[in-house]
Chain A
């Protein structure tokens, strides 16, 4: 950096020292310390700038300006509040109407949506010949599920993204993934399905497992903070109850 470049930078350095920590000025300030001519120029520049700043600071606003702003501010704020409440704005009213329609539709379809989710899993569980995932995360979770001390309904160490990314069998239902992995207890195979709650907001599940029977197949379903979990057994209700 030559002295002309340093001057160009240094003339932006505020005389109150507020820019002391700004890296843009560090090299130029250091140069001014080492170069006597530049140092003298900088000192004069700072003195001149400080003098102008001091003069500007002497300018006081009109005595009644503060009171006028405060009074006017109150009136303006009150006027803005009474003009139209935010929720009364046409945009929000329109949005609220849309949400009401969506909500009404969702309520009407909720049992069907949840039922369709169950139907999908039930149908897949019947196709166990096609099952079989792989990957370290799948193996890790399988080991937890195979463990005789793991109970249905307890918090499972699920890393959905890792399962998805490392080879766990994935089903696509309504545009979102459902992970499926099999595990074995006392010689009985179970199929565990894991979905993200956020992907299927219409599906309602409780925190504790609920078991239902269907055509000789039993299904236990529950949820944790982030996931919907369904375990399917073709070995009857008792096989699932043994895991509770």
Chain B
């Protein structure tokens, strides 16, 4: 694979991939490893992908599969699908509150969301993939993605509300948003 093409690919996708990996692993170093691993797999076999436009989906899918491969929690994930209905519009913090929050704190809230919902939710908020592409990547029906987004947002709102109430009593600014361990 020509090195210029690889460099272009890395430059275009390594940041969103890292953010996605961070939401999965909850650790900056693990997220970095997972991102690297994804590109190394590409370096080994990515040339077999004939459609350049599919590279983004391929990278996200590969990263997610690598994450799953390194961890065994399938039973719990299946069980989560059987949870009850979503609370109708749970109370959400005002947008101003979210805007005023530290980015690291928001990511921590995102990481509190159950993984089944967190994966599509993170991809949705990164805005790189449509709900259809997310469905393809996770190999689930579109309706399932919509449902998971709905449940994921409800859990995220609840987590933000908890953080907000906690922050009122104890404010700990988080200035460095790069390369940190979040849990």
Given A72-B40, A73-B40, answer yes or no on A58-B11 (Cβ-Cβ < 8 Å): no
Enumerate chain A residues within 8 angstroms of B92, measured Cβ to Cβ. Answer: 48
Q: Restricting to B135-178, which residues have a CB under 8 Å from any CB of A?
A: 142, 145-147, 149-150, 153, 156, 177-178
| Chain B residues bordering chain A, tally (CB within 8 A) | 51
Residue B99 contacts which of A51, A63, A68, A72 (CB distance < 8 angstroms)? Answer: A51
Whether B67 is near chain A, meaning CB under 8 Å from some CB there, is: no
Assembled-state Cα–Cα distance A49/B122 (Å):
11
Q: Restricting to B103-160, which residues have a CB under 8 Å from any CB of A?
A: 103-104, 106-107, 110, 122, 124-127, 130-132, 142, 145-147, 149-150, 153, 156
Assembled-state Cα–Cα distance A49/B126 (Å):
10
Whether A70 is near chain B, meaning CB under 8 Å from some CB there, is: yes
Enumerate chain A residues within 8 angstroms of B18, measured Cβ to Cβ. Answer: 59, 61-62, 65
Inter-chain contact A56/B125, CB cutoff 8 Å: yes
Inter-chain contact A58/B177, CB cutoff 8 Å: yes
Given A56-B122, A65-B35, A66-B11, answer yes or no on A14-B127 (Cβ-Cβ < 8 Å): yes
Query: What's the nearest-Cβ distance from chain A to residue B65, in Å?
Result: 18
Inter-chain contact A76/B44, CB cutoff 8 Å: yes
Query: What's the nearest-Cβ distance from chain A to residue B159, in Å?
Result: 11
Assembled-state Cα–Cα distance A19/B44 (Å):
34
Given A11-B146, A66-B11, answer yes or no on A52-B22 (Cβ-Cβ < 8 Å): no
Residue B95 contacts which of A8, A51, A58, A80 (CB distance < 8 angstroms)? Answer: A51
Inter-chain contact B178/A61, CB cutoff 8 Å: yes
Inter-chain contact A59/B146, CB cutoff 8 Å: no
Whether A16 is near chain B, meaning CB under 8 Å from some CB there, is: yes
Range class of the A interface residue count? 35 or more
Query: Can you give 26 A-B contacts (C-beta < 8 A)?
Result: A11-B146, A11-B153, A18-B127, A18-B130, A19-B131, A44-B95, A48-B92, A49-B124, A52-B98, A53-B127, A55-B103, A55-B106, A58-B103, A59-B18, A59-B19, A59-B103, A61-B19, A62-B28, A62-B32, A70-B6, A70-B7, A72-B43, A73-B6, A73-B43, A76-B43, A80-B43
Since A51-B95, A56-B126 are in contact, a sample of 8 more A-B pairs with Cβ atoms closer than 8 Å, ordered by chain A residue number, is: A15-B127, A22-B130, A24-B131, A44-B95, A59-B22, A61-B14, A62-B28, A70-B10
Residues of B within 8 A of A (CB): 1, 3, 6-7, 10-11, 14-15, 18-19, 22, 28, 32, 35-36, 39-40, 42-45, 89, 92, 95, 98-99, 101, 103-104, 106-107, 110, 122, 124-127, 130-132, 142, 145-147, 149-150, 153, 156, 177-179
Residues of A within 8 A of B (CB): 8-9, 11-12, 14-16, 18-19, 22, 24, 41, 44, 47-49, 51-63, 65-66, 68-70, 72-74, 76-77, 80
- Sort A-B residue pairs by CB-CB distance and give the 4 closest, nearest first: A62-B179, A58-B103, A61-B18, A55-B106
